[in-house]
Amino acid sequence: MLSKFIFPLPPTLNEIIGTARTNVYASAKEKRAWTNRIAVECFGRRQFPDRVWIEFIWKIKNFRRDPDNISAAAKFVMDGLVEGGIIRDDSLKFIMSPVLHWYEKGEDLVQIHIADHPIWNGRLIDIENPGFQETKQQVIPVYPEVLLPVKQEEIDEKKKVAIAPIVKEQIPALSTVTTVVEVLKAEVADSGELLELANLINREYQRSKTAPAAAMLYARNAGELLLQAQSLLPESEWLTWLSTNCQVSEQSAKTYMAIAKSWLSLQKPSQLSRI
C-alpha cells in the first residue's frame, strides 16, 4: 500500500533555534501549530498500523541552502503523521530506512511517500530484484486504493490468474476527497434522515472522548455535521432536536460548530495540495 502527501515546508533548524532564542513559548506554540496543521491534513487518509518505509522529497527554491538545516523540519512532519493517525510511531522500531531526495523547484514544499513495502521515488520495489517493479509489480493507486482493471498476472511463471475488477458500486465514491468529514456527508446524503445524522454526530463525539490525541479533528467533524443538521431544521426546533437526539451539550455544539466554521474559512483562500 502506498500513500502520498504534499505539505508546505515547515520551519528549518535555524528558524526553530532563532524562534526559541527569542521566546521559548513562541517556539513551542509554533511546533504545536505545525503538528496540528499536518495532522488535520492527514486525517481520514489510509493508516499504517505496522512498520513503514518513508521517502521525503524536498522541493527547494534555493539550492544554496544547507540540506541538514532544511531536513530538520522532518520532525514536524513525523509528529503530524503520528498525531493524524497515519503511522503508529516515529521511532526506529516502525520507520524502516527513511530516504531523502532533493529537487530544485519554484516553491518550497515537502512531499511524503509512505508504504508498507520498500519504495524508491514513489514506486514500490523489490530490494532483491530492483527491476521487479518494471515487470511484475503493479503499483497500487494512491488513495482511494482500488484494484486495477482486469489483466493477466503471471504468478509462478506457469499459472495465470485473472484479477477481476471491482464493479462501480463497490468503489467508494471518494474521488480525490480524503477527509473523513466528506465521507460522513456522503453517508448523510444517502440516508436523508436527521436520525442518521444524529447517529454520526454522536459517533464523532464519542471518538473525541476516546482518542484525546485527535480530539480536535473529531470535534471539527462533529461541528460540520452539526452545521449541516442545523441547516435542515427550523431555528425554533434546533435546540429541541439537539437535546433529544444528540449526546453533545448545547455549549459543546456551539464550540464544535465554531471550530468547523474556522476550518472552512481557512480552507477557502488556501488549500494544501495533496496527491
CATH code, domain carrying 36: 3.30.1330
Q: Using one digit for the tens of pLDDT, what is the confidence trace for 66-125?
A: 888 888 888 889 998 998 888 888 888 888 877 888 888 888 889 989 998 888 887 887
Per the model's pLDDT, the better-predicted residue between 127 and 37 turns out to be 37
Reported confidence tier of residue 152, pLDDT bands at 50, 70, 90? very low
pLDDT of residue 127: 59
Instruction: Give domain status of residue 77, yes or no.
Output: yes
Q: Which of the listed residues 124, 147, 175 is the one where a domain comes to its end?
A: 124
Q: Share the mean pLDDT of the chain.
A: 74
On whether both 29 and 114 belong to a single domain, the answer is: yes
On whether both 77 and 187 belong to a single domain, the answer is: no
Residue pointed to by grid coordinates 482500488: 146
Q: Quick check: 178 and 143 in contact, CB under 8 A?
A: yes
Instruction: Give domain status of residue 193, yes or no.
Output: yes
Contacts (Cβ under 8 Å, ≥6 apart) of 271: none
**Of all residues in the chain, what percent carry a pLDDT higher than 70?**
70
On whether both 12 and 112 belong to a single domain, the answer is: yes
On whether both 21 and 96 belong to a single domain, the answer is: yes
Per the model's pLDDT, the better-predicted residue between 169 and 265 turns out to be 265
Reported confidence tier of residue 181, pLDDT bands at 50, 70, 90? low
On whether both 37 and 119 belong to a single domain, the answer is: yes
Instruction: Give domain status of residue 137, yes or no.
Output: no
Reported confidence tier of residue 150, pLDDT bands at 50, 70, 90? very low
Q: How many domains in the chain?
A: 2
Q: Which of the listed residues 75, 95, 124 is the one where a domain comes to its end?
A: 124
Instruction: Give domain status of residue 270, yes or no.
Output: no
On whether both 205 and 114 belong to a single domain, the answer is: no
Range with lowest mean pLDDT among 51-55, 133-137, 198-202: 133-137
Contacts (Cβ under 8 Å, ≥6 apart) of 268: none
Q: Where are the alpha helices (DSSP H) in the chain?
A: 13-22, 24-42, 67-71, 74-83, 132-135, 180-191, 194-210, 215-232, 235-245, 250-267
On whether both 10 and 89 belong to a single domain, the answer is: yes
Q: Is the pLDDT of residue 261 over 70?
A: yes
Instruction: Give domain status of residue 191, yes or no.
Output: yes
Per the model's pLDDT, the better-predicted residue between 239 and 156 turns out to be 239
Q: Which of the listed residues 124, 146, 166 is the one where a domain comes to its end?
A: 124
Instruction: Give domain status of residue 219, yes or no.
Output: yes
Instruction: Give domain status of residue 94, yes or no.
Output: yes
Measuring CA to CA, which residue among 188, 260, 191 is closest to residue 222? 260
Q: Is the pLDDT of residue 256 over 60?
A: yes
Which residue segment(s) compose the domain that 242 sits in? 183-264
**Of all residues in the chain, what percent carry a pLDDT higher than 90?**
2
State mean pLDDT over 119-140. 59
Instruction: Give domain status of residue 135, yes or no.
Output: no
On whether both 193 and 118 belong to a single domain, the answer is: no
Reported confidence tier of residue 154, pLDDT bands at 50, 70, 90? very low
- Regarding beta strands 109-115 and 2-8, do their DSSP bridges make them parallel or antiparallel, or are they unpaired? antiparallel
d(CA 85, CA 76): 14
pLDDT of residue 236: 85
pLDDT of residue 264: 76
Residue 181 grid coordinates = 468529514
